[in-house]
Structure 1
Amino acid sequence: MSARLRWLVVLAVLVTLGVPLAILFLRSHERVTHTEHLPPQGEASYNPLYVLGQALRADGITAHSSPRLDLQRMPLQPGDTVVLLQDSADVPPPIAQSLLQWVERGGHLLLRTPPLAGDDDTVQGPLLDALGVDTEYYDSACKPFHIADDPGHSEFCSGRRFGVDAPDGIRVEREWGDDEGLVFARLRKGAGTVDVLSDMEFLKGTPRPFDADDAKDSLADGLHDTAHRDLTRYVLEPNYAKGTMWLIYGSRPPTLWSRIFYQGWPVWVPLLLALLGWLWQRAQRFGSPLPAPASERRSLLEHVRASGEHLLRYGKAPLLYDAVRRAFLARLRRRAPTAAALTGEAQVHAIATLLQWPHSRVQTALQAPASQDVAGLRDRIRLLIQMRNLL
């Protein structure tokens, strides 16, 4: 068979097998497009105002994000806006006074009331106190916010409502609320404004933790909602496109160690297991393969007990009593020399007074028992040991 004929046979076999397989594959499979929502990465994972900053920059507005309010690094100018998502109770009085002076020159400050902490002793801080905002007797309640695209929408469901008693120099320009308290108030101070809100959940890009099984719902709040975009545009209106937007999101990025632990485990876990295996392989054997040498059969305590039993068996019980009595008198001379210097009844009376024991009990303990009175010996030794421990 020539080479040309051989290649023709091979091609015919491939076509005979390939065409039915291709037809079967196309009939049994269907092309499906699946969208996979990934969790936020980088700054978006810890900055809840990240989406707001990106939206403002796309609109041609200069926006800066910061985890904490730092006026030394924030050259605030009239016409700027500060969105203070950080808890206003953490702002010290000097910083609060500086912020209000900047507002009076034409700044726009947005802040929220303290979050619900589960107790009635929530401190609202000097900033809200200076504005005349009171949150002490208010709780959380939803406020309907109807728009054309979403007539059944509600806002401020997780924030603490408040009341306003504006001091001199501050005027309430707009307010929104009901009998249960306010959820929004715009205060005019000098040339600037201060917006106080019950909460700022509508400003956040991903207000809820990411859930892979509920990825679409996790993106349904924040600025992905039309009602939230309208409300955000309304609260940013006073100085919109006039200056810089300062977004204080009040949280810190994860540390390097937390990233290594939670995100780098596919690397460090195998390395740790390999290190443990290497240590186990290189470790020397603990212990000796030879049996331990035989130790002495009797201990010191056994010798002392055997000596005492020997003296007791051969009528030498007074020697045991004298040893315990001498130990008691030795400690008595160290702790109460005056009582130890006495003799007879005077000594018995002094020891009974010192230990607050009955006179007869001390006298019994200091009298030597008969040589054959084993029960009396044990009782007197027990009393002497108790008296010695009490000194």
Structure 2
Amino acid sequence: MLRRSLPWLLLLAVLLGAGALLVRYTRWEEKRVPLPPQGEAETDRHYQLRHWLAKQGVTLQTPSELGTLPPVTDTLVLTSPLWDVRQSREQDLKRWVEAGGHLVLFPNTDEAMLKLNPLGIEETSEWQLQREQRKAEAKARAAASGHAAPPEKSDEDEDDEDDEEDTAPATPASGPALPRVPPPPKCDWTAKDAGAQPFFAELPIYQLCRSPSTVFKSRDLPAWGVRDELGWRALRLPLGRGELTLSAWYPNLDNPDLMKHDHAPLLAAMLKLRPGRQVWLMGSASLPTLPSWLWQQAAPVLLLALAALVLSLWRALPRFGPLRRPPPDRRRSLAEQVRGSASFLLQHRAEALHTAQCRALAEAARKLAPSASASSALPDPVTLALATGLSASALGKAIAPAQRNTRRLAQDLMLLETARRQLISLAAKGHTAPAPLQDSPQKASP
């Protein structure tokens, strides 16, 4: 009994030990997994922004095409670089802002839409300002120590050093190299409200994630703005009766992280939200497809090209035969056959047809006179004339090799063919020649 239960006891002990190890060296943690959007949130990419603005008493409009500008009491936000204002809309936008509208531009559209120099605004990059600060600090340290300042490095050399620092692989002290994982975004960038009229008096400093790479410089104090130690990151300037807001910090308007930290208050300050107003968001310009655009711009050219294509395809298609019923096959007459063959061979090789006709006449002569020589020589024209009743002189001219035109060759071939058929007819009837067909010294033309 004990021997039978021993294997089961060992198995139970192994399972208990494995369970104890699993409980000791593992732990259970709860992790919230966001559910995928459903219903209206699945079809509307600005669902969260729309509901957040609705709580502030503001209506969001997202037109696909901005044919007419919104009322001057509303706010227009341009985030799409595809909307063309350089050629035909720049002056309309400027007049709309001067009439009292509020225009908000982000870094992917401000350079292509408005000329900022007339407004007293200069745009520079963060890395360039940091480089200038490093150079100034190096000169100050060199001046304080009394040594000569180190030679200034070119922009290319500094870019190469920055690239080497970024791409240098991390070599651990021991163990295999692990794949580099990008660090999560740090929400440690702070910017303060330093404008003439702060939007939130109780929130002078904004806690944000990742600083933008663009810095603005303004010769005038903006009505509202956000800046850090490098300069202005967002500012609002009056333009006529309206206002223009430029922001280097670009919020992802369809990202759930928009409601985290101080992103939402900063967005409210940039849009200058007021209950009862509307915000027009031009986020994605709908452009026509290439076929429709070509049809709108060059319809006649497309029609001509299509007609040429159809004609070329029609000419290249294989033909399956005539539409009419072909005439019945009938045997051609001797004259038609001789004229057609002579006309063809006269252009290509008339001597071949004449030689073949003479050989056929020699074979017919041998059938009528079996005692004659089996050579390929032709009989005498006089003897052929006696046997066939044709003219001896005409037969001599037809047999003799000479340069002939189409008409003469056709007549000679008809005469030789007539003589050949008469000889064959006499041989078939069993007749004998009136005179022996002797070989003539005149040979067939080669």
TM-score with structure 2 length normalisation?
A: 0.36
TM-score with structure 1 length normalisation?
A: 0.40
Structure number with larger C-alpha Rg: 2
